Structure 1
Amino acid sequence: MHSLLIIHNSMAEIDIEERSASSPDSVLRSCGYLVKIATTSKEALSMIRDADASILQCPITEINTWGILLMQQKIAPIIWWCTHETANLSVAACDDNIMVDGVLSPSMLAQEIHWTLHFSAKQCFERQQWLKEREQLLSRIEERKWIDMAKGILSKVKNISESEAYDLLRKQAMNERKRMVDVATSIVKVYQLLQDQT
């Protein structure tokens, strides 16, 4: 990880003297990272393509808003720059599913920053894998619901067992060269349409 995008929130402004000593850009540059700075969403979206990670210098309540915006453009670690200015809210402000892969602070040593960025990249990858798996599982559950409804309709209409209805559904899908869920969805929708008309 070499190039970092730092996003300064206007609400997290600090005075010039303090900013020069403890700002994320000066700390990270001193550790050897290439740093770009954005203060608006438009700037951030144009710069994120070239960045390996985003460092958010904003209140914790704004992390998810920035995270969603940035992840739509590029999947890269999101790290929170934690200082007394950005962490001035109570712990209750931090919800359970905050979109952050790591936390940095101005008091960290260069070695700690390097390891935090390394583990943040790993965390980001694992979070993306988990989200993909979750999406696939939800999709399978939804497909299963359609197939179960179609089995119920076929067993009721044709007066057959659910296993026979499943075999019938599978054969129909093979004959039409469609996925079972597509055939099941068609059966359920046609059945519901007919029920509405009667």
Structure 2
Amino acid sequence: MHKLMLVDNDPERSDSLESALHEAGYKNTIRITPDANLLAAVRSHQPDIILIDMQSPDRDTLESLRTVSKEMPKPIVFFAEQSDLDTTRAAISAGVSAYIVDDLPGKRLKSVLEVAIARFQEHQKLREELEDYKGRLQDRKDVDKAKGILMQHRNLSEEEAYQLLRKMAMDRNMKIGEAARNFVAAMALLGG
């Protein structure tokens, strides 16, 4: 069962939303106010989902969301009573997974949360894939640079330089990209 963190400064509205959450099957809810340190609360309570219910996101709230999204990414659902295009864009940019304007969705609450979680998970998967591709691209650049140095200084063919790097990586129990970076750094220290 998901643990939810409800951020709201209106006790009546919070009670109403928490009741709707209980009816939707979400029984584990932590409530905090918008003036609380959101990142500290997320670290402390480790919620699976963050729900924010307020009139409209202010700059401090958006900055807190941006920090949470960067440090401890979570699906974030924002219920706003009013909004405009710039505010909606700012909320999405700050890491909000679902931005609902107007009344609480009532019977649709569970599906709104499920969609927000699914969108968040897909976004995280894409982010991880992008980081993996960036890492592999950097490894490839570093290997090419190390091969070039070996080819120039040891008068090796490209294949011989690659095999030497590969052996160096295997002997040191490293990935070839890491071995290439170490080699390039060592050559730079030696002035080569």
TM-score, structure 1 normalization: 0.72
Secondary structure at 2:37 match in 1: helix
Paired position in structure 1 for 2:127: 131
Structure 1: how far apart are the matches of 2:180 and 2:70? 35
Structure 2: how far apart are the matches of 1:150 and 1:133? 26
Following TM superposition, where does structure 1 have runs of at least 4 consecutive aligned residues deviating by more than 6 angstroms?
Answer: none
Secondary structure at 1:195 match in 2: coil
Paired position in structure 1 for 2:62: 63
1:171 aligned to 2:170? no
Secondary structure at 1:189 match in 2: helix
Paired position in structure 2 for 1:40: 35
What is the identity, as a one-letter code, of the residue corresponding to 1:144?
A: R
Q: 1:185 to 1:4 in 2, by over 3 A?
A: closer
Paired position in structure 1 for 2:6: 6
The one of 94, 101, 109 equivalent to 2:97 is: 101
Paired position in structure 2 for 1:117: 113
Superposed CA deviations along residues 11-37 of structure 1, whole A, max 9, x for unmatched, are: xx7xx7xx84xx3x1441341435523
1:70 Cα deviation after fit: 6.4
Structure 1: how far apart are the matches of 2:63 and 2:142? 33
Paired position in structure 2 for 1:77: 75
The one of 26, 29, 35 equivalent to 2:18 is: 29
RMSD between aligned residues: 3.1
1:148 aligned to 2:137? no
TM-score, structure 2 normalization: 0.74
Whether contact under 8 Å (2:66, 2:94) holds in the other structure is no
1:186 aligned to 2:175? no
Q: How many residues matched? A: 181
Structure 1: how far apart are the matches of 2:168 and 2:145? 16
1:99 Cα deviation after fit: 0.6
Percent of matched pairs sharing the same residue = 23
Structure 1: how far apart are the matches of 2:87 and 2:146? 46
1:102 Cα deviation after fit: 0.9
Whether contact under 8 Å (1:79, 1:100) holds in the other structure is yes
1:67 Cα deviation after fit: 4.4
Structure 2: how far apart are the matches of 1:38 and 1:115? 25
Structure 2: how far apart are the matches of 1:50 and 1:184? 39
1:51 Cα deviation after fit: 3.6
Gapped runs of 5+ residues in structure 1? none
1:64 Cα deviation after fit: 5.2
1:71 Cα deviation after fit: 6.5
Structure 1: how far apart are the matches of 2:45 and 2:114? 19
